[in-house]
Structure 1
Amino acid sequence: MGKYFKYAIGEIALVMIGILLALQINNWNEARKSSIKEATILNSLRSELMTSLKELKHDYEASQVFHQSTINIYDYIQTKPKLVDSMYSDFYKSVAFNYSFLKTSAYETLKSGNLDLIKSDSLRMLITDIYESGYQRIYKKIDTRRNAARLLFPYYQKHFRSILKGDSISGYKRLGIPNDYDALINDPEYETLIYEARAGRRGAEGELERTINAVENCINQINKYLKE
């Protein structure tokens, strides 16, 4: 009986070891599959963020130009210089804008049920903050009164006419020609609108800059994480 029990215990031990090994192999396979999925998702997100980063930088450069135009116009109102052709470009740019088309399909796929695949809490929070906060703040600037172009355009329609000057070789310029320049730079309503537009431009520019920095940081963190 002693030999039998020893044999039985040995068999049971072998079976348990076999089960534990099988479970360990299964867990290892599942972890490997999860890591592959995580890497695939992060690569898709990185590609999407890089595309959006180009869009954001383009919009930021344009925003700087439009912001400077509103600053220039506010100076015209204060100093009341003689009207010259170079001012026409500022008048037109004061109502120009760029609408950001930021890609979110990879994030939406991730958010639909795979967000927990990203094992790093800090990286997951960084990604979520960009899509749920950074991008949304930019869209809010576009959709609210702080949109300088939307704020100024009704006034612009009444007091300016737009022309296209140039040719296909040297390039075209869009210009805003005041109907009555002297009345324009002495109009308190226009001064108030330009003042508000200048503040709106500054706010939008700052939001773009913050989001660009966040996206660049996120891309760097993804690169670092994937190399670990």
Structure 2
Amino acid sequence: MIKIFKNLRQKLLQENKTVGYLKYAIGEIVLVVIGILIALQVNNWNTARKNNQSEVAYLKNLKNDLIKQKQDLKTYKIIERQYFANGEKIKNLYSETQGFEKLDSLFIWLNSMMTRITFRSSNTTFTELSSSGNLNLIHNDALKKNLVAYYQQLERFTSITEKNNTNLVDGTFDKNIFPLTIFGDQYLSNSVKLVINMDSLSQKKMDYSHFKPYISAQLKLPENQLKILNMVNLRIFISYAHVQFYDQIDRTTTALIDSINEEIKAISNHD
């Protein structure tokens, strides 16, 4: 084809047909431009197709992270509600006798409330998108905005739970309540043993019975009773607040999963 155009151009020049040559030259330029435009269009189409494939892959990974987040939220809520329930049991135990007479039960419930769980965000894919600059692969601006807001919310709550654990459990609850209880494997609830896998932990069985008269005497002091009740009420309040936030996150997570499913469907239909 190129040889044909070359021969035609030479023939026109030899025959001194200037007008015809100009027409030919213009036509040749037009053909080149059209070829370039077609090549660019094909390249843009291939790029768009690859971007769509990457977008769908990221959306699916985001969806998997969100599904895991919902599973984690379920576990977090179970544990926080257990703290709440054990706190109510301690309060009921006190109300029955205006004191703490059933030490074995008290120790189990107090020990469980001295444990803690810190909220963690399942944000692997979002972190990758943000750090790599690929967040713009998500073309749905509303979805992208909601994802950014969602993970900012999770980051804030992670900070809140860490502070609550540090200030309430580590700094205050354990410091004040630990001296008024016996912390041992026989006084750990089944849920706590399951979390820390007690079967793999070898502990020498200890006889703590000779400490019980001392602790019983300490628990008869109004100042210590008030200390326990105040700490339990605070622990209940914090756990209740955490559960409320977990419920809110759970609803938002479900809505995001639905939005991602709709976006993946829309991209697939467009292709």
Question: What range is the shorter-chain TM-score in?
Answer: 0.7 to 0.9
Q: TM-score with structure 1 length normalisation?
A: 0.81
| Higher helix fraction (1 or 2) | 2
Work out which of the residue numbers 73, 94, 98 in structure 1 matches 2:90.
73
Q: Is the 8 A contact 1:147 1:201 kept in 2?
A: no
The aligned counterpart of 1:57 is 74
Structure 1: unaligned runs, 5 residues or longer: none
Work out which of the residue numbers 36, 43, 48 in structure 2 matches 1:31.
48
Q: TM-score with structure 2 length normalisation?
A: 0.69
Q: How many angstroms does 1:4 deviate by? A: 3.8
**Structure 2 CA distance, aligned partners of 1:160 and 1:149?**
15
| Higher strand fraction (1 or 2) | 1
The aligned counterpart of 1:156 is 177
Query: Residues 76-87 of structure 1 correspond to what in structure 2 (within 5 A)?
Result: 76-78=93-95, 80=98, 83-84=101-102, 85-87=104-106
Say whether 1:108 aligns with 2:127. Answer: yes
Which secondary structure state, in structure 1, belongs to the residue aligned with residue 184 of structure 2? strand
Q: How many angstroms does 1:212 deviate by? A: 2.1
Give the 3 Å change call, closer, same or farther, for CA 184–130 of structure 1 in structure 2. farther
Query: Residues 136-155 of structure 1 correspond to what in structure 2 (within 5 A)?
Result: 136-144=156-164, 148-150=168-170, 151-155=172-176
Give the 3 Å change call, closer, same or farther, for CA 195–118 of structure 1 in structure 2. same
- Which 4+ runs in 1 deviate beyond 6 A? 171-174
Give the 3 Å change call, closer, same or farther, for CA 17–134 of structure 1 in structure 2. same
Q: Deviations over 1:17-37 (max 9, x none)?
A: 222211111111111111122
User: Could you say what the CA RMSD is over the residues aligned between the two structures, in angstroms?
Assistant: 3.1
**Count of aligned pairs between the two proteins:** 222
Work out which of the residue numbers 142, 145, 150 in structure 2 matches 1:125.
145
Q: Is the 8 A contact 1:49 1:103 kept in 2?
A: yes
Q: Is the 8 A contact 1:148 1:201 kept in 2?
A: no
**Structure 1 CA distance, aligned partners of 2:226 and 2:99?**
17
The aligned counterpart of 1:22 is 39
Which secondary structure state, in structure 2, belongs to the residue aligned with residue 59 of structure 1? helix
Question: What is the percent sequence identity of the aligned residues?
Answer: 22
The aligned counterpart of 2:7 is none
Q: Is the 8 A contact 2:121 2:154 kept in 1?
A: no
Q: Is the 8 A contact 1:165 1:172 kept in 2?
A: no
The aligned counterpart of 2:236 is 198
**Structure 2 CA distance, aligned partners of 1:214 and 1:67?**
24
**Structure 2 CA distance, aligned partners of 1:74 and 1:139?**
30
Q: How many angstroms does 1:76 deviate by? A: 4.0
Give the 3 Å change call, closer, same or farther, for CA 61–148 of structure 1 in structure 2. farther
Q: How many angstroms does 1:101 deviate by? A: 4.0
Kindly provide the amino acid, as one letter, of the partner of residue 141 in structure 2.
D
Structure 2: unaligned runs, 5 residues or longer: 1-17, 199-211, 267-271
**Structure 2 CA distance, aligned partners of 1:64 and 1:131?**
24
